[in-house]
């Protein structure tokens, strides 16, 4: 078939475009199953959980009429009769799945005394009011005559609440809706966050200090020998976390090998407390995370030509000066990336501190689990999850800026 040159070229270009488009579709179809799977089983569940940190359906679910009646209520002062009547109606006809204790505990978290107030009112509420509902309720418990309980109810009647997130950093809303710090004896989470950062920082610094010489010496050794010694890094890396933690408990306990050896050497007379305290946590966590420091650092060092060092020496630098001025600066990005990676991974640690730490060494994750399993305060658990995830993502953005993600993947 004869066609003019330009028309043929155009058709050819169109066909190429079509083939490319078909190819892209085929590639997307290959990615799609995994994408859908992770969205369904992983991403959506996590978002759903974190949503609980701002969701507030307890008051609206238990006291729907009161929420409506309080819509126009502005403190100071008490709400009108309609609100009192709505509250009485709500408390008398609680839906079957509702739970006064849950409601009381929820309100008690922001205003102490609310739990007993709710329980008492629900139990002793008469079927018909003596005069107005306002007088009846205040007679039943004079707290209903105090503005602060009503403004708490009002604050908690929105579908969304900032209180869990505020509580996660030791803040709360006061009656006027202002953000204030909680009472000093109830401050808890900021110091926990601080401790989590502190332990992670200690682990990251120790890993950097211990990992650098290992990567440096292994890189300088002949390849055969370095590969042999690399087993000491890789075997623990592949060994179960639980196995390693158990091993440290055995090693460091009162009559364990470490204490026995120290006593045999005559360095100590009584066994040292090496486990179930901060020392034990640091030892076990550094042991787990050290390979994440050594492997990327080793990969970075492998890429530095040894001629640089020799050039510095030939120009008259001593070994020390050549190291500090020529070698160290080239490895600093790798060192920073490794330390940051270790720090980020340490932030979320739960199992190791739970097994080898004391009560004063538990981190943010442990508190999250406590709120899930023991205090059953899911909103609070979700708020701590937001805090932990926020810190992690923020640090990963920094990590990405360091251009280190590529090194990590290459080393892994």
Choose between 184 and 305: whose C-beta lies nearer to another protein: 305
Give the bridge partners for 17, in sequence order. Answer: none
Choose which of 77, 95, 177, 213 interacts with another protein (CB under 8 A).
Answer: 213
Q: Is 211 exposed, middle or buried, given 0-12, 13-18 or 19+ CB atoms closer than 10 A?
A: buried
Question: For residue 18, how many C-alpha atoms fall within 13 Å in the half-sphere facing its CB?
Answer: 6
Query: By CB under 8 A, is residue 247 in contact with another protein?
Result: yes
**Nearest partner of 214 among 344, 340, 331, 337, judged by Cα:** 331
Stretch that binds another protein, among 3-11, 151-159, 184-192, 366-374 (CB under 8 A): 366-374
- DSSP, collapsed to helix, strand or coil, labels residue 179 as strand
Query: Is the CB of residue 245 less than 8 Å from the CB of residue 251?
Result: no
For another protein, which residue of 17, 239, 314, 375 counts as binding (CB under 8 A)?
239
Q: Smallest distance from the beta carbon of 365 to another protein, in angstroms?
A: 4
Other CB atoms within 10 A of residue 278 CB: 17
C-alpha distances out from residue 143 to 85, 136, 274, Å? 16, 12, 53
Q: Does 276 bind another protein (CB under 8 A)?
A: no
Q: Can you tell me which of 153, 233, 281, 337 binds another protein, judged by CB under 8 A?
A: 233
CB crowding 19-30: b at 16 or more within 10 Å, else e: eeeeeeeeeeee
Binds another protein (CB under 8 A): choice among 9, 16, 19, 38: 38
Distances (CA, A) of 272 to 247, 249, 257, 259, 279: 17, 13, 12, 7, 11
For another protein, which residue of 65, 277, 350, 402 counts as binding (CB under 8 A)? 350
CB 296 within 8 A of CB 341: yes
41 binds another protein (CB under 8 A): yes
* C-alpha–C-alpha distance, residues 375 and 372, integer Å: 7
Query: Is 299 a residue that touches another protein (CB under 8 A)?
Result: no
Q: Based on CB atoms, which residue is closest to another protein, 98 or 210?
A: 210
Based on CB atoms, which residue is closest to another protein, 103 or 356? 356
Stretch that binds another protein, among 84-92, 100-108, 109-117, 212-220 (CB under 8 A): 212-220
Stated as kind and residue range, the H or E segment containing 7 is helix 5-38
Using CB under 8 A as the binding rule, whether residue 24 contacts another protein is answered as yes
294 in Cβ contact with 216 (< 8 Å): no
Binding of another protein at residue 30 (CB under 8 A)? yes
H-type helices in 39-99, by residue range?
44-51, 58-62, 64-69, 81-92
Q: Which is nearer to another protein, 18 or 44 (CB)?
A: 44
Q: Is the peptide bond before 76 cis (omega within 30 degrees of 0)?
A: yes
Tokens in use for 332? 């600093």
Verify binding: residue 132, another protein, rule CB under 8 A.
no
Q: For another protein, which is the closer residue by CB, 129 or 236?
A: 236
C-alpha triplet 354, 358, 106: angle, nearest 5°: 70
Window contacting another protein (CB under 8 A); options: 116-124, 131-139, 197-205, 207-215 = 207-215
Part in contact with another protein (CB under 8 A); list of ranges 59-67, 96-104, 182-190, 382-390? 382-390
Q: Are 156 and 84 in contact (CB under 8 A)?
A: no
Stretch that binds another protein, among 46-54, 95-103, 109-117, 177-185 (CB under 8 A): 46-54
Measured between alpha carbons, how far is 347 from 196 in angstroms, rounded to an integer?
A: 6
Size of residue set near another protein by CB under 8 A: 86
Residue that has been written with the tokens 């059953």 in this structure: 376
Q: Which stretch binds another protein (CB under 8 A): 32-40, 65-73, 105-113, 158-166?
A: 32-40
46 binds another protein (CB under 8 A): yes
Binds another protein by CB under 8 A, chosen from 183, 235, 328, 376:
235
- Shorter beta-carbon distance to another protein: residue 232 or 398: 232
Is there binding between residue 116 and another protein (CB under 8 A)? no
Asked if residue 262 binds another protein (CB under 8 A), the reply is: no
Residue 93 lies near another protein (rule: CB under 8 A)? no
What does the per-residue mask of binding to another protein show for 305-324, with x meaning CB under 8 A?
Answer: -x--x--------xxx--x-
- Of 98 and 372, CB closest to another protein: 372
């Amino acid at each position: 078939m004869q066609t003019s040159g330009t028309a043929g070229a155009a058709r050819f270009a169109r066909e190429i475009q079509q083939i490319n488009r078909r190819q892209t579709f085929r590639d997307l179809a290959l990615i799609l199953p995994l994408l859908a799977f992770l969205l369904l089983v992983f991403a959506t569940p996590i978002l759903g959980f974190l949503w609980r940190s701002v969701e507030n359906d307890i008051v609206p679910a238990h006291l729907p009429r009161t929420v409506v009646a309080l819509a126009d209520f502005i403190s100071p002062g008490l709400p009108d009769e309609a609100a009192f009547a709505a509250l009485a109606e709500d408390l008398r006809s609680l839906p079957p799945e509702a739970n006064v204790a849950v409601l009381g505990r929820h309100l008690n978290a922001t205003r102490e005394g609310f739990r007993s107030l709710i329980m008492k009112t629900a139990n002793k509420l008469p079927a018909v009011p003596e005069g107005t509902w306002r007088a009846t309720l205040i007679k039943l418990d004079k707290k209903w005559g105090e503005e602060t309980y009503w403004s708490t109810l009002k604050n908690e009647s929105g579908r969304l609440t900032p209180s869990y997130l505020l509580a996660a950093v030791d803040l709360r809303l006061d009656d006027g809706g202002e953000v204030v710090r909680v009472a000093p004896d109830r401050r808890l989470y900021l110091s926990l966050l601080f401790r989590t950062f502190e332990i992670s920082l200690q682990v990251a610094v120790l890993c950097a200090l211990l990992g650098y010489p290992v990567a440096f010496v292994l890189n300088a050794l002949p390849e055969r020998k370095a590969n042999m010694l690399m087993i000491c890094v890789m075997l623990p890396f592949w060994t179960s976390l639980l196995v390693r933690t158990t091993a440290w408990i055995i090693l460091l306990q009162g009559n364990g090998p470490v204490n026995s050896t120290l006593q045999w050497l005559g360095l100590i007379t009584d066994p040292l407390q090496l486990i179930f305290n901060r020392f034990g946590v640091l030892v076990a966590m550094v042991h787990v995370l050290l390979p994440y420091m050594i492997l990327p650092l080793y990969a970075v060092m492998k890429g530095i030509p040894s001629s640089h060092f020799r050039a510095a020496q030939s120009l008259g630098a001593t070994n020390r000066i050549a190291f500090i001025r020529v070698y160290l600066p080239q490895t600093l990005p790798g060192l920073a990336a490794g330390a940051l990676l270790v720090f980020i991974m340490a932030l979320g640690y739960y199992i190791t501190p739970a097994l080898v730490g004391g009560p004063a060494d538990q981190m943010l994750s442990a508190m999250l689990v406590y709120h899930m399993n023991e205090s059953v305060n899911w909103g609070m658990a979700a708020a701590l999850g937001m805090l932990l995830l926020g810190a992690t993502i923020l640090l990963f953005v920094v990590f990405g800026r360091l251009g280190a993600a590529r090194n990590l993947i290459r080393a892994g």
